[in-house]
Amino acid sequence: MCGMGALTMESLHKTYGEVRALRDLSMEVRAGEIVGFVGSNGAGKSTTMRIVLGVLEADSGEVRWDGRPVDLAVRQRIGYMPEERGLYPRMKVSDQLVYLARLHGLNPSSAKAAMEHWTEVLGIAERRGDEILKLSLGNQQRVQLAAALVHSPEILVLDEPFSGLDPVAVDVMSGVLREQADAGVPVLFSSHQLELVESLCDRVGIIKSGSMVKFGGIEELRRTDDRRWVVDGPPASTWITAVPSAHLVSAQGTRSVVEVRGQAADAVDQEILRAAMAAGPVHEFGLLRPSLTELYRHVVTTDVTATDRETVSA
Amino acid sequence: MTPRPSVVEISNGAAIRLIAGREISTRVRSKAFVWTTVALVAAVVLGGVLLHFVGQQSDSAQKVGVTPEASGVAEQLVALGSVTGTTIETQEVASAEAAEPLLKDGTVSAVVTGTDPLTVLVHTELPDALAPVLGSLAQQEALSSAVTDLGGDPGEVGREIAQAAADVTALEPEPERDSAQVVAGFVAGILLFISLMTAGQLVAQGVVEEKSSRVVELLLATVRPWQLMAGKVLGIGVIGLTQVVLVVGAGAGTAALLGLVDASSINLGVTALWVIVWFVVGFTMYALALAALAALVSRQEDVGSVTAPVMTLMMIPYIIGISIAPWDPTNPLVVVLSFVPFCAPMLMPMRIALGEVAPWEVALSLGLSLALIPVLVWLAGRIYSNAVLRSGGRIKLKDALTAS
């Protein structure tokens, strides 16, 4: 059982020839939390994970577990799912999982028990005797997850564990990740499925061109200085002038979106509601918070500016 | 909550053993390996048996029947045979009629039924070895008649003629080359070539299999590159060694059981042992070189081209070995190459089998090869570690050596 450790990546730099793959990337995954790692292809997610696993060496920076640099002994206790899936194509599922468990230090009987447990949990118990290449892609993916879990890792690092999974398998995978996190395992995974990340993760890191541009709790990231409300009622053009700090962002039929910029936003919501109700009946009134998808779009489409970088160490 | 078994940090030795164990169990279960081994063992056993019968036929005496009318020529036949290099055994046959069944069942190859003129009965045709003997005999019989006519003793003359032969003195006598030595040399060369080639290719393919299936990334997250390479080389080495021991054992056993070799000309046990020792040395060198080169590519299709230089290197001593060494074991090319690492594992055991090598030569050659192994380990380890995780195109050897 692991303690209250945290996996820390500090100021990672990596350059491939002319390409700067990582620039001063830092993040932390605490015990028991799920951290989602999002960013466009080539942003540096896989590079970061490979550096954590030691299959790639950073030019500078450090990865620590429980405050100590991650060495081979620690790496043997990480469960890893590489971006490029990889298992021996002509080896049976059971043999493969037992072999990997033993390479991570389990004795033969524990390795067999772990193989049986995880094939059962992941719904591939009937395929134990089959060679990997005979399985469907979805089942290969389940075996890949089993391979990451079979040695009861203390840390999980999964590169796009959800890609190519059917909805049922997504639920199984989400359940397993939650269970692992609840057991105290820090879980870091990357994904392009932002709704999934939003619902599953405690914290999210958004990476762009090798830099972490946003990192924090979902709620924290969604909270912005400029606030927007949606009002379903009389057209905003008829009452917006009653609230001097507010301005209209968009209007569609009876639905208007109004925005208040800056610190003044805190107490202004009641003022807006009153102004709207004075003009006519209001059917819906709510704070409009950006979804992770919107945040992500905003981040990846704007240039990384100096101010953006300053928010990194959230 | 899932069970959390106790996990221990695994030692270098344990990791290498596990990796080697996987290689061994995978190969042993593969039909290709089982059948190759069976075929090789069967080939040496059958080869031995075949050699045994061929040898028996050429060595065995020619049996010639002699009817009472011709009983006088029996002694002459044996004497003539020894001059022409054919061992002849004579056997009394009651009559030409009695000779028929003996000829048909092969008890005798020919029956002399009359002397004036010489008449011979055969089943289908006269054996080649008997033609000159019977030809000479006919001439002698004709001579005897003439001697008798002149009043001499034809028996005396006949015996003297039969035993007359030129006394030859060789200026540089060719050493007696036992055919068993030639065969042993051949077999040693071919066997070592086949086993080094197959085992070496297994190593190269195994390395690329891990790269192309990307499983190497998963493995290297928990073991070090050199452990993975060492385990693979060790595992496939054990498999190759098992194959060689089985084949050498079967070959040597067959030869000993059938009495194919003359103990004075070749020490079968020692030769077999040297073949095994040189397999281990040769495999280590070739496996390291091939593992390093194979790590430079990511697809099975590219294994052939990237390993071609080493495979060619393997062909040279083999071709020189089997085309020159058995006929001319002291050929300077053979002798020089038998000291060169990478060539020695095939040529030195051939020379040992051919019995043309001094102990210091074996020791020197072995020492040179063994001295190169640590260098190869270092080079291969470096190239492999730097290249094995880089997928995509073929990596330049120089880059793999210089990258840290």
Mean pLDDT of B60-66: 79
Residue B294 structure tokens:
């194979």
Among A26-30, A264-268, B191-195, the minimum mean pLDDT is found in A264-268
State whether B119 and B142 are in the same domain: yes
Residue A97 structure tokens:
């999982």
**What are the tens digits of pLDDT across the range B254-304?**
888 887 776 666 678 888 899 999 999 999 999 999 999 999 998 889 999
Among A183-187, B104-108, B262-266, B307-311, the minimum mean pLDDT is found in B262-266
> Which residue in A156, A202, A46, A47 sits closest to A146, CA to CA?
A156
Closest-CA distance of chain A to residue B358, Å: 47
**What are the tens digits of pLDDT across the range B111-141?**
888 877 788 888 888 888 788 888 888 887 7
State the Cα angle at B312 between B307 and B316, rounded to 5°: 155
Please count the other Cβ atoms lying within 10 Å of the Cβ belonging to residue A293: 13
| A55/B4 touch (CB, cutoff 8 Å), yes or no | no
Residue by residue, DSSP assigns A237-298 as GGTGGGSTTEEEEEEETTEEEEEE-SGGGGGHHHHHHHHHHHHS--SEEEEE---HHHHHHH
Question: pLDDT averaged over chain A?
Answer: 86
Closest-CA distance of chain B to residue A84, Å: 6
Mean pLDDT of B31-42: 89
Task: For residue B404, give the chain A residue with the closest CA.
Answer: A57
Q: Which domain holds residue B294?
A: 15-52+178-402
| Whole-number pLDDT of residue B263 | 62
Residue B93 CB burial class (10 angstroms; 0-12, 13-18, ≥19): buried
**What are the tens digits of pLDDT across the range A76-115?**
899 999 888 889 988 999 999 999 999 999 999 999 999 9
pLDDT above 90 for B368: yes
Identify the architecture of domain A6-221 in CATH. 3-Layer(aba) Sandwich (3.40)
Choose between A16 and B178: higher pLDDT: A16
Residue A1's pLDDT band (boundaries 50, 70, 90)?
Answer: very low
> Which residue in B203, B233, B234, B176 sits closest to B355, CA to CA?
B176
How far, in Å, CA of B317 to CA of B315, rounded?
A: 6
| B221/A56 touch (CB, cutoff 8 Å), yes or no | no
**Are residues A221 and A292 in contact, defined by beta-carbon separation less than 8 angstroms?**
yes
State whether B221 and B92 are in the same domain: no
Please count the other Cβ atoms lying within 10 Å of the Cβ belonging to residue B53: 10
Question: pLDDT averaged over chain B?
Answer: 85
Of the candidates A73, A103, A114, the beta carbon closest to that of B15 is on A103
Domain CATH number, residue B86:
3.40.190.10
State whether B134 and B245 are in the same domain: no
Mean pLDDT of A223-244: 82
Domain boundaries, chain A: 6-221, 224-288
Residue from B23, B218, B220, B388 whose CB has the most chain A CBs within 10 Å, to mutate: B218
| B26/A91 touch (CB, cutoff 8 Å), yes or no | yes
**What are the tens digits of pLDDT across the range A106-148?**
999 999 999 999 999 998 999 999 999 999 888 898 999 999 9
How far, in Å, CA of B229 to CA of B288, rounded?
A: 8
Per CB-CB distance under 8 Å, the chain A contacts of B222 are: 72, 75-76, 100, 103-104
Q: What is the largest CA-CA distance in chain B?
A: 122
| Whole-number pLDDT of residue B214 | 84
**Are residues B159 and B75 in contact, defined by beta-carbon separation less than 8 angstroms?**
yes
| Whole-number pLDDT of residue B345 | 93
**What are the tens digits of pLDDT across the range A277-314?**
888 888 888 888 777 888 788 777 775 444 444 343 33
Task: For residue A132, give the chain B residue with the closest CA.
Answer: B213
Per CB-CB distance under 8 Å, the chain A contacts of B8 are: 105, 107
Percent of chain B at pLDDT above 90? 36
- Bridge partners of B171, per DSSP, are none
**Are residues B4 and A88 in contact, defined by beta-carbon separation less than 8 angstroms?**
no
| Whole-number pLDDT of residue B100 | 85
Which residues of A lie inside 8 Å of B (Cβ-Cβ)? 1, 50, 53-56, 72-73, 75-78, 80, 82, 84-91, 99-100, 102-107, 110, 113-114, 117, 121, 147, 149, 151-152, 179-180, 183
What ipTM describes this predicted complex?
A: 0.77
State the Cα angle at B240 between B236 and B305, rounded to 5°: 65
**Are residues A182 and A110 in contact, defined by beta-carbon separation less than 8 angstroms?**
no
| Whole-number pLDDT of residue A175 | 92
| Whole-number pLDDT of residue B53 | 80
Among A207-216, A226-235, B69-78, B89-98, the minimum mean pLDDT is found in B69-78
Q: How far does Cα B21 stand from its chain's mean position? A: 31
Q: What's the distance, Cα to Cα, between the start and end of chain B in Å?
A: 42
Number of structural domains found in chain B: 2
Residue from B212, B220, B222 whose CB has the most chain A CBs within 10 Å, to mutate: B222
Per CB-CB distance under 8 Å, the chain B contacts of A113 are: 3, 5
| Whole-number pLDDT of residue B108 | 84
Please check whether residue B224 lies inside any domain of the structure: yes
State whether B289 and B155 are in the same domain: no
pLDDT above 60 for B4: no
- Bridge partners of A211, per DSSP, are A208
Q: From the options 3.10.450, 3.40.50, 2.60.120, 3.30.70, give the CATH code of A224-288.
A: 3.30.70
Mapping DSSP to helix (H, G, I), strand (E, B) and coil, where does residue A36 land? strand
Residue B122 structure tokens:
């055969």
Task: For residue A52, give the chain B residue with the closest CA.
Answer: B221
| A86/B220 touch (CB, cutoff 8 Å), yes or no | no
Please count the other Cβ atoms lying within 10 Å of the Cβ belonging to residue B39: 10
How far, in Å, CA of B76 to CA of B95, rounded?
A: 20
A/B interface, count of CB pairs below 8 Å: 95
How far, in Å, CA of B330 to CA of B340, rounded?
A: 16
State whether B301 and B385 are in the same domain: yes
**Are residues A292 and A204 in contact, defined by beta-carbon separation less than 8 angstroms?**
yes
Give CA separation, A97 vs A154, B28, B218, in Å.
Answer: 17, 20, 12
Please count the other Cβ atoms lying within 10 Å of the Cβ belonging to residue B286: 26
Residue with structure tokens 């385990």? B231
Residue B60's pLDDT band (boundaries 50, 70, 90)?
Answer: low
Of the candidates A55, A73, A110, the beta carbon closest to that of B220 is on A55
**What are the tens digits of pLDDT across the range B193-244?**
999 999 999 999 999 999 888 899 899 888 989 999 999 999 999 999 999 9
Please check whether residue B5 lies inside any domain of the structure: no
| Whole-number pLDDT of residue A19 | 85
> Which residue in B341, B372, B388 sits closest to B229, CA to CA?
B388
| Whole-number pLDDT of residue B365 | 95
Please check whether residue B168 lies inside any domain of the structure: no
Of the candidates B5, B19, B389, the beta carbon closest to that of A113 is on B5
Please check whether residue B353 lies inside any domain of the structure: yes
Mean pLDDT of B33-42: 90
Per CB-CB distance under 8 Å, the chain A contacts of B1 are: 179, 183
Give CA separation, B157 vs A36, A195, B140, B141, B234, in Å.
Answer: 113, 118, 9, 11, 75
Secondary structure (H, E, C), chain B: CCCCCCCCCCCHHHHHHHHHHHHHHHHHHCHHHHHHHHHHHHHHHHHHHHHHHHHHHHHCCEEEEECHHHHHHHHHHHHHHHHHCCCEEEEECCCHHHHHHHHHCCCCCEEEEEECCEEEEECCCCCCCHHHHHHHHHHHHHHHHHHHHCCCCHHHHHHHHHHCCCCCCCCCCCCCCCHHHHHHHHHHHHHHHHHHHHHHHHHHHHHHHHHHCCHHHHHHCCCCHHHHHHHHHHHHHHHHHHHHHHHHHHHHHHHHHCCCCCCCCCCHHHHHHHHHHHHHHHHHHHHHHHHHHHCCCCCHHHHHHHHHHHHHHHHHHHHHHHHHCCCCCCCHHHHHHCCCCCCHHHHHHHHHHHCCCCHHHHHHHHHHHHHHHHHHHHHHHHHHHHHCCCCCCCCCHHHHHHCC
> Which residue in A240, A278, A277, A271 sits closest to A257, CA to CA?
A240
